[in-house]
Amino acid sequence: MIKKKIFLVLLHLTFWLLSYLYITSGNLSWNGFGKEGGLLKKAYLYGMFFNATLFYLQIFWLVPKFYVKQKKTKFWIYAIVLFFLITFLETYLDVKLAIDNRVYDFHPIAIAIIWIYHNSVFHFIYFIVGFYYRFQQEYIRSERIKQELLVENHNAELKYLKAQLNPHFLFNGINSIYHLIGKNDANAKNTLLKFSNLLRYQLYESNTNKIELYKEVNYIEEYISIEQIRKGEDIHLDFSIEIEKENNLIMPLLLIPFIENAFKYVSNHNDSKDNRISIVLEEKNNILQLIVENTKDILIQRNRSGGIGLKNVKKRLELTYKNKYNLDLTNTENTYKVKLEIDLH
């Protein structure tokens, strides 16, 4: 930031120096003053000073203090007063320099009228350039602040949505262990150990916006193993994973709600073959695809749209992968299917 400011200062100084050298070293004139007697250098030096004064007053005082803060009446009053004050002051110095050096034989008032017009043109140019220079800076600054606020709001909303997952996960996990206690204490202990591993992942490893895909896959596999212990032979599960790039990054805890819901809403027929869950997770060419399908009871949630987990994940997808994902939910009489594709580029 300091280097940028130093660069800008040097850039401005270079502009004024080159402008001065260009005018005073050639055969040009300033308000009729030529190189004879060094009049051009004197006239252009204070002329450049007044132009710079108008330019920098716009940048550092008028625009930021009045125009940007919606005090436009004061802005125009001060701007007009300064404009004419500086124009008349430079014209006075021009007339005095001309009279002292007998440059013109015209009456001083006639000379002043010509130079007032001439100086006004140049002052107006620097006045407008200074205004738009600072106005453009304020616009860029305003846009940057807007973007920063959007990012902050985005991150805050993601943190809030992610925080919702913990109680949802705790509820499902504790419920799974509860169903095992008394039926199979060994499995209950094993499930509790796996459950603690999952909780450790949520608390300590997933506290970032993105995480390596293999870590998320390990989490999913651990969760599925818990559900397999809990459901036992009551369901028929098909589960496959094919990952090309395990180090691809993904938002943590994004896929698990779909899998949780499959186990939560799977049908409960007497014949376990009729209670099916199919989970396919693939990543090829940076495209991640998750397909989850489960059978369901006709009388249970005929128009199921999902609970907290599903609503949560939809919002997180939109926030992080907008225009880079596709989510299809198919709800038939006997099955519920989720197909999710995410571009991980």
Q: State the CATH number of the domain containing residue 332.
A: 3.30.565.10
Is 168 within a domain? Answer: no
pLDDT bucket at 293, cuts 50 / 70 / 90: very high
Asked whether residue 51 carries a pLDDT value surpassing 80, the answer given is: yes
Averaged over 210-234, what is the pLDDT?
Answer: 85
212 in the same domain as 125: no
286 Cα distance to chain centroid: 23
φ/ψ of 255, rounded to 5, equals -90, -25
pLDDT bucket at 291, cuts 50 / 70 / 90: very high
DSSP E strands: which ranges in the chain? 211-212, 236-243, 249-250, 276-284, 287-295, 325-331, 335-343
Range of the domain at 19: 2-147
Q: Cα(13)–Cα(161) distance, rounded to whole angstroms?
A: 52
197 in the same domain as 260: yes
How confident is the model over 152-172, as pLDDT tens digits? 656 656 565 555 555 656 676
95 in the same domain as 35: yes
Nearest to 310 by CA among 260, 265, 251, 266: 260
Give this prediction's pTM. 0.53
Asked which of 122, 147, 172 is the last residue of a domain, the reply is: 147
Q: Cα(196)–Cα(171) distance, rounded to whole angstroms?
A: 13
Q: Cα(342)–Cα(345) distance, rounded to whole angstroms?
A: 9
Predicted confidence at residue 281, as pLDDT, reads 95
296 in the same domain as 195: yes
Asked whether residue 117 carries a pLDDT value surpassing 60, the answer given is: yes
Write down the residue that tokens 């987990």 correspond to.
309
Is 104 within a domain? Answer: yes
195 in the same domain as 137: no
Q: Cα(247)–Cα(58) distance, rounded to whole angstroms?
A: 52
How confident is the model over 130-150, as pLDDT tens digits? 888 888 888 888 787 777 766
Tokens of 117: 């017009």
Query: Within 13 Å of residue 279, how many CA atoms lie on the same side as its CB?
Result: 23
Contacts of 149-154 with CB under 8 Å at 24 or more apart are 154/319
Asked which of 93, 125, 147 is the last residue of a domain, the reply is: 147
Predicted confidence at residue 277, as pLDDT, reads 94
Nearest to 329 by CA among 282, 296, 292, 279: 292
Averaged over 318-331, what is the pLDDT?
Answer: 89
* Averaged confidence pLDDT in the chain: 80
185 in the same domain as 143: no
201 in the same domain as 56: no
Decide which of 153 and 264 is more confident: 264
Share of the chain above pLDDT 70, in %: 81
- Helix, strand and coil percent figures for the chain, each rounded to 5: 65, 15, 20
Q: Cα(316)–Cα(312) distance, rounded to whole angstroms?
A: 6
Beta bridge partners of 279: 239, 292
pLDDT bucket at 278, cuts 50 / 70 / 90: very high
* Most distant pair of Cα atoms in the chain: their distance: 117
Q: Cα(207)–Cα(159) distance, rounded to whole angstroms?
A: 9
Q: Cα(187)–Cα(209) distance, rounded to whole angstroms?
A: 34
Q: Cα(312)–Cα(164) distance, rounded to whole angstroms?
A: 8
- Please tell me the least confidently modeled range out of 20-24, 156-160, 264-268: 156-160
- Supply angle C-alpha 167, 235, 261, rounded to 5: 30
- Please tell me the least confidently modeled range out of 68-77, 90-99, 250-259, 282-291: 90-99
Is 8 within a domain? Answer: yes
Predicted confidence at residue 153, as pLDDT, reads 57
265 in the same domain as 214: yes
Is 86 within a domain? Answer: yes
How many other C-beta atoms can be found within 10 angstroms of the C-beta atom of residue 283?
Answer: 21
Predicted confidence at residue 285, as pLDDT, reads 92
Count of structural domains, the chain: 2
Averaged over 286-296, what is the pLDDT?
Answer: 94
Name, in order, each residue with C-beta under 8 angstroms of 48's C-beta and a sequence gap of 6 or more: 16, 19, 20
222 in the same domain as 84: no
Tokens of 262: 């499959």
Predicted confidence at residue 302, as pLDDT, reads 47
Decide which of 289 and 67 is more confident: 289
Is 64 within a domain? Answer: yes
How confident is the model over 171-199, as pLDDT tens digits? 766 776 777 777 767 777 777 777 777 77
pLDDT bucket at 284, cuts 50 / 70 / 90: very high
315 in the same domain as 186: yes
pLDDT bucket at 107, cuts 50 / 70 / 90: low
Predicted confidence at residue 163, as pLDDT, reads 55
Is 260 within a domain? Answer: yes
Beta bridge partners of 315: none
Is 166 within a domain? Answer: no
Decide which of 248 and 192 is more confident: 248
199 in the same domain as 336: yes
Predicted confidence at residue 324, as pLDDT, reads 92
Is 160 within a domain? Answer: no
Calculate helix-pair angle for 72-100, 39-57, nearest 10 degrees: 170
pLDDT bucket at 257, cuts 50 / 70 / 90: confident
195 in the same domain as 143: no
